[in-house]
């Protein structure tokens, strides 16, 4: 299938990565693998920002690039806190299996 615009090709790659990350976050049992899926989704969004910045009408305004830079910084903070939480839960429950974390199930 011939995609005329290079932007469409980048957007399709980003959509595919987002779907892969979402599938990983929704189907894996290990909490760390769920975090990996979330990281993939964040990166797919970053790819969209950069692609729109590159092919947008005003790349010299740097809007999309700034959004991607701040998004990378926030994602790093999120990864640190998320993995810290996983380690804390592992210490408490002795497992990272999400199917066994049913303590709050009604």
Partner 1 sequence: MSVVFYGIAALTVAGGLAAVLLKNTVHCALAVAVAFAGLALLFLSLDAQFVGFAQILVYVGAVAILIVFAILLTRGAEPVTGGVFSKSWLVGLVIAAGVFAVLGWAVLQSAHALPLVTAAPAVTVQDIGVALVGRYVLPLEIVALLLTAATIGAVIVALHEKERTR
Site for partner 1 in 48-67 (CB under 8 A): 50-51, 53-57, 59-60, 62, 65-66
45 near partner 1, rule: CB under 8 A = no
Shortest distance, position 73 Cβ to partner 1, whole Å: 5
CB closer to partner 1, 10 vs 104: 10
DSSP state of 103: T
Helix (H, G, I), strand (E, B) or coil at 95: coil
Q: Among residue numbers 15 through 34, which ones bind partner 1 (CB under 8 A)?
A: 15-30, 32-33
Note the helical H segments in 56-105: 63-93
- How long a stretch of residues is the chain? 106
Footprint of partner 1 on residues 73-92 (CB under 8 A)? 73-81, 83-88, 90-91
> How far is the C-alpha of 43 from the C-alpha of 101, rounded, in Å?
28
- Residue 38 lies near partner 1 (rule: CB under 8 A): no
Closer by beta carbon to partner 1, 79 or else 106:
79
From CA 77, how far away is CA 22, in angstroms rounded? 20
- What is the three-class DSSP state of 98? helix
């Amino acid at each position: 299938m011939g995609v005329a615009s290079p932007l469409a090709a980048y957007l399709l790659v980003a959509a595919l990565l987002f779907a892969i990350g979402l599938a990983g976050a929704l189907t894996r049992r290990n909490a760390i693998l769920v975090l990996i899926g979330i990281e993939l989704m964040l990166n797919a969004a970053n790819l969209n920002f950069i692609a729109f910045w590159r092919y947008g009408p005003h790349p010299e305004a740097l809007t999309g690039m700034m959004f991607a830079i701040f998004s990378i910084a926030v994602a790093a903070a999120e990864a640190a806190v998320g993995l810290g939480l996983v380690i804390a839960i592992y210490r408490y429950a002795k497992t990272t299996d999400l199917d066994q974390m049913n303590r709050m199930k009604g």
